[in-house]
Amino acid sequence: ETGVTQSPTHLIKTRGQQVTLRCSSQSGHNTVSWYQQALGQGPQFIFQYYREEENGRGNFPPRFSGLQFPNYSSELNVNALELDDSALYLCASSGQINEQFFGPGTRLTVL
Amino acid sequence: SQQGEEDPQALSIQEGENATMNCSYKTSINNLQWYRQNSGRGLVHLILIRSNEREKHSGRLRVTLDTSKKSSSLLITASRAADTASYFCATDLNNNDMRFGAGTRLTVKP
């Protein structure tokens, strides 16, 4: 157990809908990163938040957005869902050394 | 885009044998990390090797890094059935952008 929790564990949405995924970071960690992992692939970096500010972004469109709260928990929001958004969404928290501790993930299915 | 590429894509061995997985990457890195993932679950950090290190050990794991060839290897000695998982390398470009490969799926047969 890494101490990183994600909710919900599974989610089913339809095309065009919006979704919010949540992540609670490990105690003492001020950085949260979000990844999308399609079936059979490695995780793809979406973005990172450090002390409530976006601190880097991967190659994802603006309909992927996020927030980090004062307690360092974080949300990932995806608007206008597409079928290809179906994936496992992972968050990872890290402290001063960039060793990332991953949560169990949220499996999103878009129908 | 993915930075690291693991090789092989899949590896099947008998319990007790050693497993070697390789990772190649494209650009300069701060460090390289190896992770393990059991079927569809979160990733577990195994080992981090910095760009100025050449070899690192942790229990039955041995990681090497060759920055001139932009490659790394993960050796698991005396494998166990419980080692069955997917293994990923991830390169840390600038402390806020980790790039993962597609992974090696390791199966250890009892």
> Long-range CB contacts (< 8 A, 24+ apart) of A23-26?
A23/A73, A23/A74, A23/A75, A23/A76, A23/A91, A23/A93, A23/A103, A24/A73, A25/A72, A25/A73, A25/A74, A25/A91, A25/A93, A26/A2, A26/A93, A26/A95, A26/A101
For A36-61, the pLDDT digits (tens) are 999 989 999 999 999 899 988 999 99
Q: For residue A98, what pLDDT is reported?
A: 67
Query: Confidence class of residue B3 from pLDDT cuts 50, 70 and 90?
Result: low
B40 and A107 within 8 Å at the Cβ level: the answer is yes
Per the structure block, which two tokens stand in for B85? Answer: 């998982």
Q: Are B76 and B85 in contact (CB under 8 A)?
A: no
Q: Which residues of A touch B96 (CB under 8 A)?
A: 31, 33, 48, 50, 55-56
Distance CA B75, CA B90 (A): 16
Q: For residue A28, what pLDDT is reported?
A: 83
Check CB contact of B99 with chain A, cutoff 8 Å.
Answer: yes
Q: Are B53 and B64 in contact (CB under 8 A)?
A: no
Q: Look at residue B1 and tell me whether its pLDDT is greater than 60.
A: no
A42 and B40 within 8 Å at the Cβ level: the answer is no
Q: Are A90 and A103 in contact (CB under 8 A)?
A: yes
Q: Are A55 and A95 in contact (CB under 8 A)?
A: no
Check CB contact of A100 with chain B, cutoff 8 Å.
Answer: yes
For B34-91, the pLDDT digits (tens) are 999 998 788 999 999 999 999 999 999 999 999 999 999 999 999 999 999 999 999 8
What residues in chain A have per-residue pLDDT under 70? 1-2, 96-98
